[in-house]
Chain A
Amino acid sequence: MSDITLSDVGMMFDIGHRKITALRGIDAVLPSGSFTALIGPSGCGKSTLLRLIADVLAPTSGEIRIGDHAPDAARKRHEIGFVFQDPTLLPWRSVVENIRLPVEVAGQPAARQPEELVELVGLKGFEQARPAQLSGGMQQRVAIARALALSPKVLLMDEPFGALDEITRQKMNIELLNIWRETGTTAVLVTHSISEAVFMADRVLVLSANPGQVADRIDIDLPRPRALDLMQDPAFHAHENAVRAALFSGERTAA
């Protein structure tokens, strides 16, 4: 099982002359196979939290578990897929080769064929293109496909759709939900969009800044599978309003 358990997690950065408390007292349980959205003002520590879960950084206090183990166990078993805030593609590799990278590194058979993933993220015909030949949004979709190549147990996404237009973004959201349902991966999505958070997630963690703390947790008990017309639903708007209220109250307490 790969629930993610955060117990009193804190992160302090030492930048020479002073210390920055990026995160403090984060408590949360993200059940195995659930979908969590992280939302909060810029600089509140969302990227930092994802990096902590992925074992890129170690928390300065508290503890993180993935399943029954520390995050490094999951990482070393190649069970974590990560979509960074910037696409981080290798410029000398083609689109397919970039998607195949985790497979090569892990030395495991691909859970999904790179060619299939190219199609899934709507880049058919660009298999042999180099990243420099793609737009920012296309690059980010390659990064998403790459994160899915090994069907990771934990899928961490840092504003993956920030560079996409509204229509492509909706399409990608639906695709992502399909993949998530099929694979049963535990997903965490950082987003600045309230409607995207509500549309995608089982729960939305609202963070407040300075230091980054969980201001509120809103459970989204909307039925699945979710389709676009859900966004017309009054229940959807009610959830959006709840997230918005939490976001702004967090802002007020911080000020």
Chain B
Amino acid sequence: MTAGLRSALPPALVLLGLALLMEAAKAAGLLPITVPAPTQVLAVIPAQFADLVYHGAATLRSALLGYLCAGLVAGALASVALRFHGAERPIISFGLLVDCFPLIALAPIFVIWLGQGMLLHVTLSAIASFFPLLLGTVKGFRATDASTRQLFHVMAATPMQRLRLLSVPAALPYIFQAMKIAAPLALLGALIAEWIGAERGLGAMMIYALFSFNVPVVWLTILTVCGLSALAYGLIALVESRVITWEVRGDAGGTDG
């Protein structure tokens, strides 16, 4: 619990500090009309709350599904890379390529293929979160030393046993690390997809508020996405602290917060 709390604390403090700063700046007349004071944003919450939940749920669902799909594909590809050594470089290159495409430019093309429904949102969310998950899993699978692999060879472990008893546990710290990085990206992917066209979702709410020049609501949606990202990160960190109870060597350890 404390570890999860501790990892959620820094982003929360940063947000709070920023809010205070903005409040002061707004009061001093330093901020343009497009930037409201945090209290103005807070003031619209009661009226917007039902909408926020309605749209937020859709975004969360898309992001979660996209994240899961990305995780499954990343896990499968990483397993292939683990089994066939020569496949590792092409697989990483593929992941990098997917990651390098500018999502905003890609989104309209995907609309043509997938329409504007949830399929689009899930797909873009998956694309946005794919690469860190892939890289983390591949790297994690490699985090075993030669003599431990030889030990499994001497014990005549089957490939499945090797995966279950060695590669997966060794990779877990790296996978959690990647999951924490990828969760906000999945939300961002869903958000971008919703901008392009959606009836429901925080992205749609944001665009609608933008076009009706409802500045506080625009900011409210932005802050909601921030909050959800921080929450997702914190939740994963919490699970991580429960699962990784051993001392982790190498560059996967001690990166909480």
Residues of A at the B interface (CB closer than 8 Å) are 51, 54-56, 75-78, 80, 82, 84-86, 88, 90-92, 101-102, 104-106, 130, 132
A113 to B154, CA, bound (A): 21
Check if B227 is an interface residue, CB within 8 A of chain A. no
A195 to B156, CA, bound (A): 34
* Inter-chain contact B147/A84, CB cutoff 8 Å: yes
Neighbour of B156 across the interface among A51, A75, A91, CB < 8 A: A75
A102 to B246, CA, bound (A): 21
A94 (CB) vs chain B CBs: closest residue: B246
Neighbour of B147 across the interface among A77, A80, A86, A101, CB < 8 A: A86
Kindly list chain A residues whose C-beta atoms are within 8 Å of the C-beta of B147.
84-86, 88
* Inter-chain contact B150/A51, CB cutoff 8 Å: yes
Kindly list chain A residues whose C-beta atoms are within 8 Å of the C-beta of B248.
91
Neighbour of B150 across the interface among A76, A84, A90, A101, CB < 8 A: A84
* Inter-chain contact B151/A88, CB cutoff 8 Å: yes
* Inter-chain contact A82/B156, CB cutoff 8 Å: no
Check if B145 is an interface residue, CB within 8 A of chain A. yes
A78 (CB) vs chain B CBs: closest residue: B156
The size bracket of the interface on B is 20 to 34
Neighbour of A105 across the interface among B145, B165, B172, CB < 8 A: B165
* Inter-chain contact A105/B156, CB cutoff 8 Å: yes
| Chief secondary structure at chain B's binding surface | helix
Check if B247 is an interface residue, CB within 8 A of chain A. yes
Kindly list chain B residues whose C-beta atoms are within 8 Å of the C-beta of A51.
150
A54 to B155, CA, bound (A): 10
* Inter-chain contact B246/A132, CB cutoff 8 Å: yes
Interchain nearest-CB distance for B174 vs A (Å)? 13
**Selected A-B contacts with CB under 8 Å, 6 pairs:** A82-B150, A82-B154, A84-B151, A90-B169, A105-B165, A130-B246
Check if B249 is an interface residue, CB within 8 A of chain A. yes
* Inter-chain contact B165/A91, CB cutoff 8 Å: no
Neighbour of B148 across the interface among A54, A55, A75, A88, CB < 8 A: A88
A130 (CB) vs chain B CBs: closest residue: B246
* Inter-chain contact A101/B247, CB cutoff 8 Å: no
* Inter-chain contact B148/A90, CB cutoff 8 Å: yes
Kindly list chain A residues whose C-beta atoms are within 8 Å of the C-beta of B172.
92
A82 (CB) vs chain B CBs: closest residue: B154
A130 to B248, CA, bound (A): 12
Kindly list chain B residues whose C-beta atoms are within 8 Å of the C-beta of A75.
153-154, 156
Max chain A Cβ within 10 angstroms of own Cβ: one of B145, B151, B153, B172:
B151
Q: Which of B20-38 contact A (CB under 8 A)?
A: none
Kindly list chain B residues whose C-beta atoms are within 8 Å of the C-beta of A84.
147, 150-151
**Given A92-B169, A105-B165, A132-B247: A78 and B155 interface contact (C-beta under 8 Å):** yes
A150 (CB) vs chain B CBs: closest residue: B155
Check if B98 is an interface residue, CB within 8 A of chain A. no
* Inter-chain contact B155/A91, CB cutoff 8 Å: no
Interchain nearest-CB distance for A152 vs B (Å)? 10
B244 (CB) vs chain A CBs: closest residue: A92
Interchain nearest-CB distance for A139 vs B (Å)? 13
